[in-house]
Copies of this chain bind each other. A is one copy, B any other.
Amino acid sequence: MSDVKKVVLAYSGGLDTSVILKWLQDTYQCEVVTFTADLGQGEELEPARQKALKFGIKPENIFIDDLREEFVRDFVFPMFRANTIYEGEYLLGTSIARPLIAKRLIEIARQTGADAIAHGATGKGNDQVRFELGAYALMPNIKIIAPWREWDLLSREKLLKYAEDAGIEIEMKHKQGGAPYSMDANLLHISYEGRHLEDPNAEPEASMWRWTVSPEDAPDQAEYLDIEFEKGDIVALNGKRMTPAAVLAELNRLGSKHGIGRLDLVENRYVGMKSRGCYETPGGTIMLKAHRAIESLTLDREVAHLKDDLMPRYASMIYNGYWWAPERVALQQLIDHTQEHVNGTVRLKLYKGNVIVVGRDSKTDSLFDNTIATFEDDAGAYDQKDAGGFIKLNALRLRIAANARQKK
C-alpha cells in the first residue's frame, strides 16, 4: 500500500463514495479532500457537505463546484460539433463528463497539495479508465486510489456491513434487497446499468426511466422549435439567446416532455466486455439532429465526409477516456476549424419520441444554390453536358480494366 498523505476524493455523498471516504481514512490514515461537482445531475449538493463534515473533513477541504456551464461549453458542445456517436447509437453522456471531473480533481490536488486522488468507479467499467487517463495526462506522477480494485468489499452485503459499522446512513433503496440500477446523470444524460438489464433480451421496466415520459405518454400535440447555431454551437432557442448550460437544460425539458432520447443498447467497453445500458439523452438527441441539419446546408461535401470518416475514431477516443490525449486535441483542431461557417437556424418538430427536421436556413453561409439544383430551367447555371465528361473520366479506369479482363 503506497504512502499517501492527502487524497482528493470524487465524492457524491451517496452510499458508495461515503464508504470509500471512510475506507480511505481507515486504510491510508490520510487526510481526505472531497470534491462534489454539480454537472446538472439534478441532486442537492449541500447534503454532501454535511456528510463530509460528519466524517471529520475540514471545511477548507470540502469542494462543491457548479461546473454546468464549463461542462456544456468546453466538453459537450465541442463533442457535438463532430456529430459524435459511439457504435452507431450512444451519445457518450457519461464519457464526456469524466474528463472534466479528472481535470477538477487534479486542479484541487494542486491547490491543496494532495499527492493522490480517489474515485468510486469499479474495476470492470470504462469510468476508471477515463478518470485515470485524464489524471495521469494532467499530472503524471499523481497517485490514484481505486478502492474497488483494492478492497475486499466486492459483494453488496460486505459493503452494507462496512457502512453500518461505520455509522453511515443507508437509504431504504439499498436495504430493500437487490441493488438499485447503477446510474449516472449529468446535464447531457442519465444512464442505467445492472439489475435485470443484465439480460440483454429483457425489456426495461417502464418504471426505470426517470427523465423522459414514454412516447405513449407524451403530448398528442407536436411542438415546433427553432434552433440557432453559431460556429456549430447552439446559441438561441426560439429566438432567445441562452448560455450553453441553459440551452441544454431547456432542450432536456422539451425532449423529456415529448418522449425523446431513450436508448437501449449493448455496447463494447474498453476493458473488453459487452454490457447493456439504457440511456436518456433528450436534449442531446435534439442537438445531434439539428446540428446535422445545419451542417447539411453549410458544410462542404468533402469536409462533411472527412468529418464522418473520422467521427467513429473520435467517438472511441472519448469513450475510451482519451479526452486529454494529444490525438483528441489534434482532431479537435480539425473539427473546430470546420465549424467556422456552421451558422444558421434549424426548425424542428417534436412529437412522441420523434425529432423531425422541417426546415434549415442560413442567411450567411448556405451552400445550397437553388439556381443550380432546380428541376426548372436553370438559365445556364449548370451545363448538363459537363456531366458526360465527368462520367467518362470517372469510368475510365473501370473501362480499361474491363477491356483488359475481356482480352484475357
Contact = CB atoms under 8 A, between A and B. Distances in A.
B140 A266 contact: no
Interface in A125-172: 128-129, 132-133, 136-141, 146, 148-149, 154-156
B271 A387 contact: yes
A266 B297 contact: yes
A373 interface: yes
A148 B377 CA distance: 12
A86 to B, nearest CB: 9
Interface string A316-342: 100000101111011101100110000
B393 A136 contact: no
Nearest to A345: B201
Contact of A382 (B124, B222, B401): B124
A321 to B, nearest CB: 8
Nearest to A322: B302
A218 to B, nearest CB: 9
Interface string A197-213: 01111111000000000
Copy tally for this chain in the complex stands at 4
Nearest to A155: B377
Nearest to A221: B216
Interface in A179-233: 179, 182, 193-195, 198-204, 215-216, 220, 222
Given A140-B406, A385-B389, A388-B386, A304 B87 contact: yes
A373 B327 contact: no
Interface string A368-402: 11101111110000111111111111111111111
Contacts of A392: 383, 386, 389-390
Most buried by B among A89, A265, A273: A273
Contacts of A401: 137, 300, 326, 367
Contacts of A156: 376
Nearest to A89: B292
B306 A356 contact: no
A345 to B, nearest CB: 8
Contacts of A148: 384
Interface stretch (A68-76, A238-246, A358-366): A358-366
A296 interface: yes
Interface stretch (A5-13, A24-32, A56-64, A347-355): A347-355
Contacts of A316: 305
A215 B349 CA distance: 12
Contacts of A204: 358
A404 interface: yes
Nearest to A374: B198
A268 interface: yes
Interface string A278-299: 0000000000000011001100
A388 B132 CA distance: 10
Given A128-B391, A271-B393, A365-B404, 18 more contacts: A123-B382, A123-B384, A129-B391, A179-B375, A179-B376, A198-B373, A200-B368, A203-B358, A215-B352, A216-B220, A266-B293, A302-B326, A306-B327, A329-B337, A364-B408, A366-B404, A386-B392, A386-B393
8 contacts: A203-B349, A272-B397, A273-B397, A274-B296, A303-B327, A308-B312, A334-B334, A367-B397
Interface of A: 83, 87-89, 122-124, 128-129, 132-133, 136-141, 146, 148-149, 154-156, 179, 182, 193-195, 198-204, 215-216, 220, 222, 262, 264-269, 271-276, 292-293, 296-297, 300-306, 308-309, 312-313, 316, 322, 324-327, 329-331, 333-334, 337-338, 347, 349, 351-354, 356-361, 364-370, 372-377, 382-404, 406, 408
